Structure 1
């Protein structure tokens, strides 16, 4: 173990990440020969082959792949530990990478609160992106992820932000044309406005009904689904922040209220990242301000 060089390990990580000695050398500012020598010395110290080298391409051996994953995690932990050790004199500054749900919740609730946070702490650099794709907090190097739904048990830090209620709605004109909808099975007889989920699992107590969306319109956007429901194209299911103001204004009618669902919106953070003042401060900022922002959006409805 004493023969191992941290520089050699970092050289190996760069080569594995960029897929070639040339690309890694350009990124790290070292010569290609220097990186090659460091990786060769690392392989000699370990007594194993980490890379298959040919004139055309380079790839990890099976052992190399496992070693890469473990060293990558270890280096991330060491870098975070160094940040933690020096943060007391640095204050709230540095980068925060966030992946969050999109649509109205991401764009009209989370983003404004994050913007206000950065305005208060201008030395923080925020990278915020919206996607529904599940991300690996370790592999993707995110500091914070904001997600809806039940999360698997893990060593990650999870903080609840809010309960989001999902409602089933349709326009008054649509209901006049298609008759009353009094039970979930009625939904199979009318057009639906649905998104990426085309199978609605409806639950009330211990009862469960599955509705397959096989007629209507598919729009993979909450905003577009909202507009389509207002236009009378079908029944849709959306978070209450999209539709509550329209229900209050009689532009939409809630149907099957007993089958509405409540989903938890949570912040998820790796334990080491949670120890960083800037990340923990942002989580506390969101936790404190999100409920009021959510209530205002419920009352006023989404923009445009």
Structure 2
């Protein structure tokens, strides 16, 4: 087994990731023939078939799937070890891939802090995206994810960033026509504005009320939901950063204040990536700067 080539293992991982030799050759810059030769050599050395090959498709054998997962994890550990050793020479260098919540929180708060971090550390190259889909921190190779809500995977490094208050709001004009709204059940008979969820879970102490919102006006953007509420289209549910300034100015009215909710905004990092000094420093930078920038944002309406 000591004769196994690391190049062959990397080639196998590239092919498995890409789903074909052609795609792997395009992504890696190696020739299709070279990748095929390396994978064949690996199978010969192991005396195991790792891939089923046909003219139309390529897929992993059962043993190939297990070998792929173990090799990929091992390669990630080796890559992280190499990056850690390189960082020990002094100075922060390398890439940091971040996936974060979007909207006002991501674009107006997280992004400015990340930009300032990169300005202070020119050797670091940050890749920041705001895709709303749940990502797999291991498979998608993100260094850091910033998410709201529950985080079930206890194997990851989690650091609380802030507590976000959720508020239910409507315009004064809307409430003159449809109000008053005194209890959660009243929401069933008035126009609502929702985002990507089909139900709202309202909590007050130990009491919980579920409001179905599948028949609401759906606007998959916090900024657009906020504007629609100001225009009197309906009642909406938004984080305080969207609505606090307008509640203070009277442009929006908070309804059911006893039913407001709190949601944790957290930074999540794979243990291997947390070993990297540049990732830990960025997390500390965000932690130290986020509360102040969030408080400042509460005083300004997003539509101004």
Q: TM-score, normalised by structure 2?
A: 0.96
Q: Are 1:108 and 1:302, in contact at CA under 8 Å, matched by a contact in 2? A: no
1:265 counterpart = 2:229: no
Q: Which residue of 1 aligns with 2:102?
A: 102
Q: Following the alignment from structure 2 to structure 1, what is the Cα–Cα distance between the partners of residues 214 and 149?
A: 25
Q: CA deviation at 1:47?
A: 2.1
Q: CA deviation at 1:288?
A: 0.1
Q: Following the alignment from structure 1 to structure 2, what is the Cα–Cα distance between the partners of residues 29 and 220?
A: 39
Aligned to 1:135, the other structure's residue is in SS state coil
Q: Which residue of 2 aligns with 1:16?
A: 16
Q: Which residue of 1 aligns with 2:78?
A: 78
Q: Following the alignment from structure 1 to structure 2, what is the Cα–Cα distance between the partners of residues 155 and 216?
A: 38
Unmatched 5+ stretches in structure 1: none
Q: Which residue of 2 aligns with 1:236?
A: 236
1:38 counterpart = 2:38: yes
Q: Following the alignment from structure 1 to structure 2, what is the Cα–Cα distance between the partners of residues 29 and 133?
A: 29
Q: Which residue of 1 aligns with 2:6?
A: 6
Q: CA deviation at 1:28?
A: 4.0
Q: Which moved more, 1:230-239 or 1:58-67?
A: 58-67
Q: Are 1:162 and 1:265, in contact at CA under 8 Å, matched by a contact in 2? A: yes
1:200 counterpart = 2:204: no
Q: CA deviation at 1:119?
A: 1.1
Q: Following the alignment from structure 2 to structure 1, what is the Cα–Cα distance between the partners of residues 145 and 131?
A: 10
Residue-by-residue CA offset, 1:229-276 (whole Å, 9 max, x unaligned): 000011111000000000000000001011000000000001111111
Q: Which residue of 1 aligns with 2:88?
A: 88
Aligned to 1:108, the other structure's residue is in SS state helix
Q: Are 2:227 and 2:303, in contact at CA under 8 Å, matched by a contact in 1? A: no
Q: Which residue of 2 aligns with 1:55?
A: 55
Q: CA deviation at 1:121?
A: 1.1
- Closer/same/farther in 2, CA of residues 303 and 290 from structure 1, 3 Å limit: farther
Aligned to 1:210, the other structure's residue is in SS state strand
- Closer/same/farther in 2, CA of residues 213 and 69 from structure 1, 3 Å limit: same
- Closer/same/farther in 2, CA of residues 41 and 225 from structure 1, 3 Å limit: same
Q: Which moved more, 1:89-98 or 1:38-47?
A: 38-47
Q: CA deviation at 1:289?
A: 0.3
Q: Are 1:245 and 1:299, in contact at CA under 8 Å, matched by a contact in 2? A: yes
Q: Following the alignment from structure 1 to structure 2, what is the Cα–Cα distance between the partners of residues 44 and 36?
A: 12
Q: CA deviation at 1:30?
A: 4.0
1:158 counterpart = 2:195: no
- Closer/same/farther in 2, CA of residues 24 and 195 from structure 1, 3 Å limit: closer
Q: Which moved more, 1:127-136 or 1:221-230?
A: 127-136
Q: Which residue of 1 aligns with 2:211?
A: 211
Aligned to 1:164, the other structure's residue is in SS state strand
Aligned to 1:181, the other structure's residue is in SS state coil
Q: CA deviation at 1:72?
A: 1.2
Q: CA deviation at 1:74?
A: 1.2
- Closer/same/farther in 2, CA of residues 172 and 62 from structure 1, 3 Å limit: same
Q: Which moved more, 1:137-146 or 1:55-64?
A: 55-64
Unmatched 5+ stretches in structure 2: none
Q: Are 2:223 and 2:303, in contact at CA under 8 Å, matched by a contact in 1? A: no
- Closer/same/farther in 2, CA of residues 89 and 243 from structure 1, 3 Å limit: same
Aligned to 2:167, the other structure's residue is in SS state strand
Q: Following the alignment from structure 1 to structure 2, what is the Cα–Cα distance between the partners of residues 247 and 277?
A: 42
